[in-house]
Copies of this chain bind each other. A is one copy, B any other.
């Protein structure tokens, strides 16, 4: 009795990802997901029981991808400064590929904090946080003394918010006869690496 290893589940998850990302847990409609997956609505329930469970899977996947970016912080073959630069780059790559991810996570976390807290714990246990790595770097003298939490918040803000608020920035840019998009990406990245160096390079 071999499981069919069905691709339907994949198809559903893909469709659900798109719809949940755009409309969130409340805004998304099961019918909409079924339509996008090209299947009957009842099949959604066959595979995932109910909306919340389906959402849970999508959310868990997203969170997984999110934390995957932190792996590079563990790479002991690199100096800590390089790891941080690399982390920022991966983060930006990730958000470039999934621009709606950040706002999706934030929306859902703000609506259901308890769920997130529980889920994030397991991920954090597996991955050392940037904060721990920074403090380690300070102790080793590889980077100058800074408030690690604050640096972390600043860095993540610089990387993430442009994607979160892209719809707003696009309008503002247009009003100022400027562009905001791929054209600017290289400058955007550079500005973040500059920020890192400015903040953490030993004097």
- How many copies of this kind of chain does the complex include? 2
Using CB atoms, name the residue of chain B closest to A152.
B172
Contact A117 B153 (CB under 8 A): no
Contact A167 B116 (CB under 8 A): yes
Other 11 A-B pairs with CB < 8 A, given A109-B167, A156-B161, A195-B195: A106-B164, A106-B167, A109-B168, A116-B167, A120-B172, A148-B176, A149-B176, A150-B188, A153-B161, A153-B169, A157-B158
Using CB atoms, name the residue of chain B closest to A129.
B176
At the interface, yes or no: A124 with Cβ under 8 Å from chain B? yes
Q: Give a binary string over A143-154; 1 marks a CB under 8 Å from any B CB, 0 the rest.
A: 000011110111
Contact A150 B106 (CB under 8 A): no
At the interface, yes or no: A191 with Cβ under 8 Å from chain B? yes
At the interface, yes or no: A137 with Cβ under 8 Å from chain B? no
CA distance A24 to B179 in the complex (A): 29
What count of chain A residues pass the 8 Å CB interface test? 54
At the interface, yes or no: A175 with Cβ under 8 Å from chain B? yes
Contact A187 B117 (CB under 8 A): no
* B residues in contact with A165, CB < 8 Å: 106, 156-157, 160
* B residues in contact with A113, CB < 8 Å: 167
CA distance A160 to B163 in the complex (A): 13
Minimum CB–CB distance from A50 to chain B (whole Å) comes to 18
At the interface, yes or no: A105 with Cβ under 8 Å from chain B? yes
Minimum CB–CB distance from A64 to chain B (whole Å) comes to 15
